[in-house]
Structure 1
Amino acid sequence: MRRRSAGPVGAPRQVGPGAVERGRETPGSAHGDWLTLGRDGRLSLYVPTDGGLVRWTETAVGGPEWSGPHFVAVAGLTHLTVTQGADTYVHFLGRRERERADGALGVDIVHAIQYQTGLAFTEWRSLGNPHRDREQGRELGRPVGAVAADGTVHVFVPNAHGGLSLRRESPTGKWRAWEDLRGSGIDEPPATVALAAGRLEVCAAAASGIFVWRQTAPGGDFDGPQGFALRPTPGTVTALETGPDRATFFWTDADGGAAAWRAGDWPAALGGSPARQPYASLRTAVDGYDCVVLAHRDRDGSVVLGMGGTENEGGGFWWYGLGEPCQGVPALARDGRGRVVMALVGPDGAPKVARQEDGAGLTLARWQTLGH
């Protein structure tokens, strides 16, 4: 994929105290990978706020100091999703509402990119709306994204018909027309996963169970949707590559507690308290073992951390209540030194981070509140 020019449009600017909490249109955290590791080994995190988003960036590999907050303007943003490709470029997808010249409310999907850690964004480009009818267009859901191994960006959004719409780049970097992937009863954003071999898979919960779309080959069309009579709680599905060209989907089961599922198998119960939003997920080594780490906000509003062997659900999954209140969905990443880092947005709108301590197991050090 060709690299686009990153001009000065969308450049962050420093903001003063209190800018994160005032009049927020999208409270809590962003959707997706809102804690990212750049090519230079520094972490960045992104939080939606009134009129756009704010960013913090580590000043050195491994921290602990952060610069920010830096404000990036995008008027009318109602939902923000962050996704990152293997090339480390960070992509921002938003659902935007604006008053049109005739006074009617218009909805479109917007996209911007940050190519390098801590530097300017590209301009916010409108990707339009898959619906020509304005009333149907206002029913468009939250966009989610996935970046294929070759850097091709894919944008998925629940549409007014209860199905899934897709807009993606062509190999030349130009955007193709909206595609209808069909489906029914989808009212929450799906979970997407970009597999290392180049394919994408998508899973969405619906009233009838789940739908799964699989790309036939890298850059190819999507098969499906294939329906499965499973019972995830809508809005809780997360996807993670756990084997060569193989995804595991995690969700809160209708009976309560987390579950893991791979195509061709039965869901495996992971226990724990139920989540109402997607799980943050990370695959990493702990004490030399290949592990999956999950995190979510429980019903009491506090963050919970879980860990177990990758594709070894029968070996047990361990959950730990961290006692830290948060808004929205926490985020997980590895820092430039390979340590697990969790980020969350506190009740006051301020982000906090905690890093893995040295030694055996997965223990997080004290929470660090980032400056306003």
Structure 2
Amino acid sequence: MVAVVVTEPAAAVPLVTLEAPGAEIAVVCLRAGAKEGRAALDRALAQAAERGCRVLGAPRILGGEGGDSVAALLDELREINPERLHTLDPDPVHVSFDETGGTPVYDEPAGHADIAADALAAARALQSETGEPLYVDCHRAKADVRLGAASCLRHPAPVNWLVAGFDGRLTAFLPTAAGVVRWFQDLPDGTAWRGPEPVEGPGLLPGLTVVRDPHGFPHLFALRRTRRGDGGVDVEVVHAVQYRTGQPLTPWNSLGGPNSGDWRKGREVGFPTAAFDSAGNLFVFVRNFGHSISYRCQSVDGVWTAWQHLGGTRVADDLVAVTTPHGGVEVYARARDTEAVVRWYPAQGGAWTEDRTPPFAARPGTMSPAPEPGSIHFRDLRTNAPSAWRPGAQAPCPLGDAEGSGPVAAASGVEMDGWAYSLLIRSGSGGACAVGAYPEGRPGTGVWWQDLAERSYGIPAAAVSRTGRLAVATRAPGQGLLVAHRREQAGSLAFGDWQPARG
């Protein structure tokens, strides 16, 4: 069940268009809107029904502004009881800047951001009441729905969100309306899980980046949105770490933001990406208000630098940081004003250098770190085909057919017939989980994909435990978190049945 919450019917059209077959859709609007918008939504809902969605009646109209919209939305959500909520962008990106007034200028009605913030507040309240995870997607303004749902998210879904702990147990982290939730195994390689349990952190926006440090500990990065006393909002980058599976994480540490001196600029900060170098220094990158890249670095002794700016090409929200074969850190980004992808790397002497020559164009929302150091995965902008690229390669390496959508997740160290393989997992045809593999470090040998016969909301994930056992996980419609383990057969990528992640 998905609740689409918007200002008026016209704003719901792209969100309904993105719903996959099988979804149950309920639309909630703040006001009735214009006749043309209502007709456009009627057409979008009819088309959704034709492709296999179930539409739950006419749009629900709250009755306009002026009342307590959070309370009214909460009443509607209690009745709908959704698993997912789709709404607009609470912190849209500016299109120009009024130098006289010192304020950003937007091409979206102010009410769009307001209803998105109210929808997030109502969703948090509902999750607090029920204890059940409610997953939220915020739709970027003017996003091209033809490129798929992952290309339209303001806060990206996590990619490698299933991680193996130091004691061999797996942990799954997912963002929800009320913050991050986690599941973890009772025993290494066991089938019993605990969760979902909340990772304390009020005000977190519904996105997440998970990165492992050189010791294997998972580091979580997110954005936190806090109301100010003057009516504004502060949006800041935050960071937490899990050192022991099943034990509390560290408190969320605020890293601020590159434009935190002015909340009107600071609220637009892009979602963080991060990577560790081989010495253990942590680099965190974001897109700043001026559409260039800013970063902070935490040294191995725990000291953070101030925010520093790379400048150069104006970039979109898609940033991916990777650790290179030589132990350094690089960052990739899609350009804002062209189809190019740009790369920043530290040259001799440590100065950051911009490389505008990567020979590919990536579909928005699909870039992710590859298992090979310094390499990335992405979907081709025009063909949707998953591909890999490493610096110095003259062309990307194709990774099989163009089915599915969103980024490709990966796990390394999968053994078959005495050889090490890299496993890929993606949302494939019709949203079904699909896995593929290639000899570690050799994606050019080809990838053969196989369907795992379970649909996924978001990106499925995979991890290899310290004993070498492979597990895959997905968030399935109406079933919560599901996990399947690889069967112990030499030379095979066969998996056991999907099992709910519970005790």
**What TM-score, normalized to structure 2?**
0.65
In the alignment, is residue 343 of structure 1 matched against residue 473 of structure 2? Answer: yes
| Residue 254 of structure 2, aligned match among 126, 130, 136 | 126
Distance 1:45 1:340, change over 3 A: same
Aligned partner of 2:180 in structure 1 is 53
Instruction: Tell me if 1:180 matches 2:309.
Output: yes
**Separation in 2, partners of 1:354, 1:29:** 24
2:380 aligned with 1:253: yes
Q: Cα RMSD (Å) of the superposition?
A: 2.7
Match of 2:391 in 1: 263
1:1-372 to 2 correspondences below 5 Å: 19-22=131-134, 24=136, 30-78=157-205, 79-131=207-259, 132-195=261-324, 197-206=326-335, 207-216=338-347, 220-242=350-372, 246-254=373-381, 255-265=383-393, 266-284=395-413, 285-298=415-428, 300-348=430-478, 350-359=480-489, 360-371=491-502
What is the CA–CA distance in structure 1 between the aligned matches of 2:340 and 2:465, rounded to whole Å?
Answer: 36
Task: Note the C-alpha offset of 1:198.
Answer: 2.6
Cα separation, partners in 2 of 1:195 and 1:61, compared to 1, 3 Å: farther
Return the letter of the residue paired with 1:203: Y
What CA deviation, in whole Å up to 9, does each residue of 1:32-67 have, x standing for no partner? 432111111111111222222222111111112112
% identical equivalent positions: 31
- Shifted more, 259-268 versus 282-291: the winner is 282-291
Moved more, 102-111 or 196-205: 196-205
Q: Tell me the CA shift for residue 330 of structure 1.
A: 1.4
The structure carrying a bigger strand percent of its residues is: 1
Conserved? CA contact 2:384–2:405, under 8 Å: no
The 8 Å contact of residues 156 and 365 in structure 2, kept in 1 or not, is answered as no
Q: Relative contact order, CA 8 A, sep 6+: which one is greater?
A: 1
Q: What CA distance in whole angstroms lies between the structure 1 residues aligned with 2:233 and 2:459?
A: 29
Shift of 1:169: 0.7
- For the structure 1 residues 315 and 74, does the alpha-carbon distance in structure 2 shift closer, same or farther, using more than 3 Å as the test? same
Kindly state the Cα deviation for residue 228 of structure 1 after the two structures are TM-superposed.
Answer: 2.5
The structure with the greater share of residues assigned to helix is 2
Q: Which runs of 5+ in 1 are unaligned?
A: 1-14
CA contact (8 A) 2:379 2:387 kept: yes
Contact 2:339 2:362 in 1 (8 A): no
Alignment CA distance shift 1:230-1:29 (3 Å): closer
Query: How big is the shift at 1:229?
Result: 4.0
* Matched residue type, 1:354: A
Mapped partners of 1:37, 1:85: distance in 2 = 12
Q: Distance in 2 between matches of 1:115 and 1:33?
A: 17
3-state SS, counterpart of residue 122 of structure 1: coil
Deviation (angstroms), 1:163: 2.1
When the two structures are aligned, how many residues end up with a matched partner? 354
Q: Structure 1 263/274 Cα, relative in aligned 2: closer, same or farther at 3 Å?
A: farther
1:17/1:370 Cα in 2 relative to 1: closer, same or farther (>3 Å)?
Answer: farther
Instruction: Answer yes or no: is the 8 Å Cα contact 1:240–1:249 preserved in 2.
Output: yes
For normalisation by structure 1, the TM-score amounts to: 0.86
Structure of larger gyration radius? 2
